[in-house]
Amino acid sequence: MKRKIIIFGVAILLAFIFGGVTKTQAAEVIQADQFMKKNDKTAAKENVLGWAKLVESVNQNETNTTIQFGEGRYYFDNTLKIPSNVVIKGVTANPEDSQLLFTAPKQGLTTEAVNGKYIKNISIRDLSIRYDIDPVIMSGYAYTFSLINFAGDYKDDSTSLAEPYELLDNIQIDNIIADGNEQANSIIYLGGIKNGSVENSKIRNSNLQSGIVMEYCQTMLIENNKIENMGRVGIVMYRGNGGSGTKQISIIGNEIKNWMQRYGTKHFYAPANMEYSAEDRKVMVDGGIDSYGAGNTNIVIDRNSLIGGEGSNKYNPSNIVINNTERKKKDPQATDLTPQHVVQMDDAGKIIPGTLDDSLQKNMTGYIGIRLSGAENVRVTNNFVQMDSYDNFAFMALYERDRQGVKTTPKNIIIKNNDFHASGRIRYPIRILSGTINKSRGISIENNTFDVNGFVDNYYKAMIEVRNPVELLTVTENKVSWDKQVNGWVTVASTGLPNYVNNLAVWGNTGTKKSDVTRSLVNTTPSSLSITTVPLPSNTTPFIGNLYTGYADYKVGETNVKGAINNNFGHYQIVTLAIDGVGLKNATVNSDGTFLINAKANNITKNSQVTVRFRVSGTETYDSEMQVKITE
């Protein structure tokens, strides 16, 4: 027995000496202090050379290497390129203990994912990373670099969108502070990533662009980040993100504050925009969470908080700058508006004629909470949006995007259980420009809460304005309260072009004016809006093809849930009973639109959460949902 133990021990020792299992399981840890100086700004150039030597020593095989920065500040005057299979981390879980500061107007952290080289397995965590560039040096440069740039070669607009690239995989960013110091164009730029995440981080102070930018990313998790003071957008999906199957962009539980702080001025004076007069230039209204498009698909936007605006009686910062510039052109002695300038408005929320505000340049920059341009197959659920400004544009906007040979029209979009608040002025609480169908689903706006304290500044004072053709729109079980003037839920704009909703389902929506609870909203506005399947004299007359309304009731103890879809004419064929969000049984919708669902065995009480879901056919998705009214 003793001999066996001695032989076994020798075997373990030999395995260790000659590179056996014991050695390969342990990842190599390199202390940054062996190659770089800290707390010495004059060592910025020397530290870049030290980084290069460190990278040379990294084992780039399948075994990961950890590079650990100590407590203190490390300065760099050039870009740090990160190889595959590397973890870069701070000394503690507090990112402020280990800081990387970049002193030159160049990319901060990047990779070698260029010219077809594939990069994988990079983790950045527990670090503070920021720009600290001398303003005199910065004044000679355009804002064209990102603090963290993990992407392949950029493809400009001359490249077909149908040619996405993939050059990175398993890229993880966790528990960092990324501060652009208003010197970074974007803070984190991610491109061509097969799988990655940005979590639990503080991302702040971009210059002209955004906090997190994605293009051609397949599966990304953006979760539990705090993003603040963005020149343009908090989180943007530029183009070609997501995909089929398990490829998904998940934006969950983030807090975004104060986007659209600087880019509006840049856009107003851009060469392409300068071709127009000041009054006719294109507006700049991007979202706190934004799909630019085209080609963005399979997206989840859930449990985020978006808070923007300077106050209900104040302008967006870019509009202040633009107005000061334009006023000086007309009158060099004109006094500048301050950022705290208070809008002069009447009790209805409109600017008072003859006041200073009445003479100002039309405001060209505005806030959107969540924008879905060039996006399809999207779930927007359980988000909180608060916008307090005289320059609110919309809670949500949905647009078609046609770029580089790819057209993406909004379809299979669910907007559900969100909480929207605005004060000041808002142009369109929800604006929809085009919509079609995928898997029997068009655009569904369900079970949302809207609170509007201020002026709704669209012509018909509607909650939802549609322009261009929309195939299927569902507006059900929403609640709204307002204090100025709102007339109805849905309108179709008259613009001299073909604008219509082919199928509109509207039921269960409630709401009242705060100062007069007898005032409620009609389903469609104005009363002259045509609702007909008969061709109209002009193809530019706005209309709704089919308007579906309905009800569903259940009395505790009875056998059936009873209901009807008015004006159905065979459109919806299947109805599903769902309790607490779980679909339990199907029934057929009768030819007259009525239906009965046997619920005797389901023990429904007055407190049960019961809905019925309607489907055109027996596919796995459903078009819209109706709350069941339960009585005893």
pLDDT tens per residue, range 50-81: 999 999 888 655 678 999 999 999 999 999 99
Best CA proximity match to 172, nearest among 150, 146, 192, 154:
150
Residue 516 has pLDDT above 60, yes or no: yes
According to DSSP H, which parts of 241-352 are helical?
A: 263-268, 317-330
pLDDT score of 546 more than 60: yes
Which residues of 229-283 form beta strands (DSSP E)? Answer: 235-237, 249-252, 255-257
CA nearest neighbour of 315 among 297, 292, 334, 336: 336
Average pLDDT, the chain: 90
pLDDT for residue 229 = 98
Res. 284: pLDDT tops 70 = yes
What pLDDT sits at residue 10? 41
Judged against a pLDDT cut of 60, whether residue 11 lies above it is answered with no
pLDDT of 351 higher than 60 = yes
The tokens describing 311, both together, are: 């106050």
pTM over 0.95? The answer is no
Identify whether 317 is preceded by a cis peptide bond (ω within 30 of 0). no
CA-closest candidate to residue 385, choices 478, 293, 254: 254
Judged against a pLDDT cut of 50, whether residue 365 lies above it is answered with yes
- pLDDT attached to residue 84: 93
pLDDT of the residue at 62 = 60
Would the pLDDT of 606 be above 50? yes
In the prediction, which pLDDT does 581 show?
80
Contact 513, 532 (CB under 8 A): no
Rounded mean pLDDT of 427-437? 94
Alpha-carbon distance of 563 to 597, in angstroms, equals: 9
pLDDT for res 449: 98
Interval 232-243: pLDDT, tens: 999 999 999 999
Q: How far apart are CA 254 and CA 301, in angstroms?
A: 10
Q: How confident is the model at residue 621 (pLDDT cuts 50, 70, 90)?
A: low
How are beta strands 401-403 and 375-381 bridged, if at all? unpaired
To which H or E segment does residue 74 belong?
A: strand 72-76
Instruction: List pLDDT tens digits, range 466-493.
Output: 999 999 999 999 999 999 999 999 999 9
- Helix/strand/coil for 358: helix
- Residue 277 clears pLDDT 80, i.e. is over it: yes
Query: What are the tens digits of pLDDT across the range 85-136?
Result: 999 999 999 999 999 999 999 999 999 887 778 999 999 999 999 999 999 9
pLDDT over threshold 70, residue 587: yes
pLDDT at 142: 82
At residue 18, the pLDDT reads 38
Paired tokens of 172: 């993880």
Mean pLDDT, residues 17-31 taken together: 56
How many residues does this entry show for the chain?
632
State the pLDDT at residue 60.
56
Residue 48, SS3 per DSSP: helix
Q: Give residue 309's pLDDT.
A: 97
Cα 52 from chain centre: 37
CATH numbers and ranges of domains, the chain: 549-625 (2.60.40)
Mean pLDDT along residues 424-431: 96
Residues of the chain with pLDDT > 70, as a percent, come to 92
pLDDT at residue 290 greater than cutoff 80: yes
Sign of the torsion angle spanned by Cα atoms 484, 487, 492, 494: negative
pLDDT at 580: 84
**Is pLDDT of 8 > 60?**
no
pLDDT higher than 70, residue 161: no
Question: Residue 156 has what pLDDT?
Answer: 63
Over residues 301-340, the pLDDT tens digits come to 999 999 999 999 999 999 999 999 999 999 999 999 999 9
